[in-house]
Amino acid sequence: MNCLVRAAVLAALLLVAPALQAQQTMSNMPGMDHGMHDSTMSMPIPMPPGMPMMPGLKGLAPNVAPFLPGAGVDVAHLPAAKASELARLRDGDTLDLTAMLVRRTINGHTFTMYGFNGQIPGPLIDVPRNATITVRFHNSIDLPSSIHWHGVRLDNRDDGVPDVTQPAVAPGSSFVYQVHFPDAGIYWYHPHVREDIEQAMGLFGNVRVDAPERDYYSPVNLEQTLMLSDLLVHADTLIPFGREGPDFALMGRLGNVLLVNGEPHYALTVHAGDVVRFFITNASSSRTWNLSFGSAPMKVVASDVSRFEHEERVPSVILAPAERYVVEVRFDKPGTYAIVNAVQAINHYRGEFQPEVDTLGTVTVSGEPASPDYAAAFATLRHNTAVSRDIDRYRPYFDKPPDKRLTLTVKVSALPLATVQFMTIDTAYYAPVEWVDAMPDMNWLSSSRQVRWILRDEATGKENMDIDWHVPQGSVVKLRIFNDPKSFHPMQHPIHLHGQRMLVIARDGVPVRNLVWKDTALIPVGSTVDLLIDASNPGAWMLHCHIAEHLGSGMMTVLHVDPSGGGARGAGAAR
Ligand SMILES: [Cu+2]
């Protein structure tokens, strides 16, 4: 549909929307209890500039009760949130991690949020590769919780998934995790209960696993970990969450305050010529980021579970929720470099894309020269032959037919009529990735009671938790995922597999040339992506979308890796 036609249809829809609202009020549709208002829910949802709230949606509220952390608690009596502190641990060490209420002030507004040990992000856990640590988790928040060790190939019982590997940890209770780290790199931890609330409110932290090899990475002057998140705020209030299930179920909650390490203005000072290695994690619920460091040259070195086969120069790095990238950046000239998120926003009125650039922070480069000067090492793009050799064992499986196929889609019921009408024309075209929430009103008013995001097994037609996949330990599983662009609201999905590692071997039939071990892969709208799973770790492992609201709307299943020698099923899927 061209822009003018779209604009005309939209204008017509806006004119008829009040009539639609009247019609829907009279029709008493099931599940449409939008009339339950209170003072918190009648607040306006922040809209993009120039975009009025759809008239047919005015006065409505999500059909879930509003929830914010710390109801009845005086925020003034809570401890102020601290910045992340380094927790350097050795094999056999023990760490206490307490999820607790904190007082957090951002841009002059004070909120009740959560933090691990009072910190946002939680402690930066630094361990040597192959260490095993004990983590005593204490739940002092007002929801059940758990800790999932994202990307870590640990024992299944320590994976932190309620109803799959452990019971949820009730408020006031504790759980002990033994966490073993077999792979070097950057990992993270977060609850696996209501991520849309708990992770968004501050319960996330990094784990850095150090390799014993001294030249595992190139030499740099400085290392920094960056956790990216966002917060949805109206004036001095957080927009409430849904108590019974997520609101913002269509696109996920995209915040209007962008944060690096929990702060709205990240700042770093370096010397001229310094090379900085950034370990970057996307801890936001739904936002995909496109990050760059001004004009400073950058090379991408590693991602979720390994280094790349070879380093590459890149203008920017894209991170879907839960993905990690390790990049090295050289700041060669004195001055100020802006760290920016540069994306394409959609203007639904005009049916056009427009650039949107947010500054997340700055790197100030002093006149003092770098010492040592690593310019030569930075100019070298390394080949990580150890990574290529490890992957060589798996290359014979790249061309086999898929063992498993999933289609990603969505079903909706009882959404406001204006939303349904809008989506009918909105999906006349689609974006491979939705970088911003261009329709926050419709998104807010869709809850997990009305939206069901779906992983569908192409072989059986089964969906989500009804899929009962078993593969033997040691098998190499080729999983083909297709993201259906013709669904009610197509959207990209970052698909995460627990406890294993996988390669993205092809996108839309085109082989990926520079491989890296991943635990999360972005599947853009309309795309077909081939994953090769190294199913080496026995247990029941979640496979799900990492958009918190999609997960909370059903988009998950379990991959059972049956222990070798005992009761393995589905051997046909194996090598
Ligand atoms: Cu999703």
Rounded to the nearest angstrom, the distance between the alpha carbon of 495 and the centre of ligand 1 is 7
Strands, E assignment, 296-385: 298-302, 307-314, 317-319, 324-331, 335-347, 352-369
Distance CA 11, CA 13 (A): 5
Rounded to the nearest angstrom, the distance between the alpha carbon of 287 and the centre of ligand 1 is 11
Rounded to the nearest angstrom, the distance between the alpha carbon of 555 and the centre of ligand 1 is 7
Rounded to the nearest angstrom, the distance between the alpha carbon of 341 and the centre of ligand 1 is 21
Distance CA 545, CA 517 (A): 18
Instruction: Give yes or no for a cis peptide into 372 (omega within 30° of 0).
Output: yes
Report residue 237 as tokens: 């209030």
- pLDDT value at residue 50: 72
Rounded to the nearest angstrom, the distance between the alpha carbon of 326 and the centre of ligand 1 is 24
Q: Which residues of the chain register pLDDT less than 50?
A: 1-41, 566-575
Q: Give percent helix, percent strand, percent coil of the chain, each to the nearest 5.
A: 15, 40, 45
- pLDDT value at residue 337: 98
Rounded to the nearest angstrom, the distance between the alpha carbon of 549 and the centre of ligand 1 is 8
- According to DSSP, the residues that pair with 132 across neighbouring strands are 180
505: left (phi over 0), alpha (psi -120 to 50) or beta: alpha
Rounded to the nearest angstrom, the distance between the alpha carbon of 286 and the centre of ligand 1 is 8
Comparing CA positions, the residue from 560, 551, 321 lying closest to residue 455 is: 551
DSSP string covering 2-71, please?
-HHHHHHHHHHHHHHHHHHHHHHHHHT-TT--TT---TTTTSPPP--TT-PPPGGGTT---SS-EE-TTT
Distance CA 336, CA 447 (A): 43
Rounded to the nearest angstrom, the distance between the alpha carbon of 356 and the centre of ligand 1 is 23
Rounded to the nearest angstrom, the distance between the alpha carbon of 177 and the centre of ligand 1 is 28
Rounded to the nearest angstrom, the distance between the alpha carbon of 494 and the centre of ligand 1 is 6
Rounded to the nearest angstrom, the distance between the alpha carbon of 452 and the centre of ligand 1 is 10
Provide the sign of the torsion angle of the four alpha carbons 332, 333, 334, 338, taken in this order. Answer: negative
- pLDDT value at residue 37: 35
Angle at the Cα of 428 (from 423 to 431), degrees rounded to 5? 90
- Each residue's pLDDT tens digit, 446-473: 999 999 999 999 999 999 999 999 999 9
138 DSSP 8-state letter: E
Distance CA 476, CA 358 (A): 41
CB 85 within 8 A of CB 104: no
- According to DSSP, the residues that pair with 327 across neighbouring strands are 278, 300
Say which amino acid occupies 121: P
CB-facing half-sphere around the CA of 118: CA atoms within 13 A:
6
Distance CA 341, CA 137 (A): 34
Rounded to the nearest angstrom, the distance between the alpha carbon of 277 and the centre of ligand 1 is 30
CB-facing half-sphere around the CA of 71: CA atoms within 13 A:
9
Rounded to the nearest angstrom, the distance between the alpha carbon of 139 and the centre of ligand 1 is 28
Rounded to the nearest angstrom, the distance between the alpha carbon of 562 and the centre of ligand 1 is 27
- According to DSSP, the residues that pair with 511 across neighbouring strands are 506
Burial category of 332 from C-beta neighbours within 10 Å (exposed 0-12, middle 13-18, buried 19 and up): middle
Rounded to the nearest angstrom, the distance between the alpha carbon of 432 and the centre of ligand 1 is 13
Comparing CA positions, the residue from 248, 279, 352, 5 lying closest to residue 125 is: 279
Rounded to the nearest angstrom, the distance between the alpha carbon of 561 and the centre of ligand 1 is 23
Alpha carbon 192 to its chain centroid, in Å, reads: 13
Rounded to the nearest angstrom, the distance between the alpha carbon of 526 and the centre of ligand 1 is 13
- Each residue's pLDDT tens digit, 148-166: 999 999 999 999 999 999 9
Distance CA 80, CA 86 (A): 18
CB 471 within 8 A of CB 560: yes
The residue assigned the tokens 């204006």 is 418
Rounded to the nearest angstrom, the distance between the alpha carbon of 82 and the centre of ligand 1 is 31
Neighbouring residues of 58: CB distance < 8 A, sequence distance ≥ 6? 21
Comparing CA positions, the residue from 550, 556, 380 lying closest to residue 465 is: 556
Task: Using DSSP, state whether 507 is helix, strand or coil.
Answer: strand
Distance CA 102, CA 142 (A): 12
Rounded to the nearest angstrom, the distance between the alpha carbon of 366 and the centre of ligand 1 is 43
Rounded to the nearest angstrom, the distance between the alpha carbon of 284 and the centre of ligand 1 is 13
Rounded to the nearest angstrom, the distance between the alpha carbon of 492 and the centre of ligand 1 is 6
Rounded to the nearest angstrom, the distance between the alpha carbon of 265 and the centre of ligand 1 is 29
CB 481 within 8 A of CB 495: yes
Rounded to the nearest angstrom, the distance between the alpha carbon of 548 and the centre of ligand 1 is 8
Rounded to the nearest angstrom, the distance between the alpha carbon of 546 and the centre of ligand 1 is 6
Rounded to the nearest angstrom, the distance between the alpha carbon of 274 and the centre of ligand 1 is 38
Burial category of 480 from C-beta neighbours within 10 Å (exposed 0-12, middle 13-18, buried 19 and up): middle
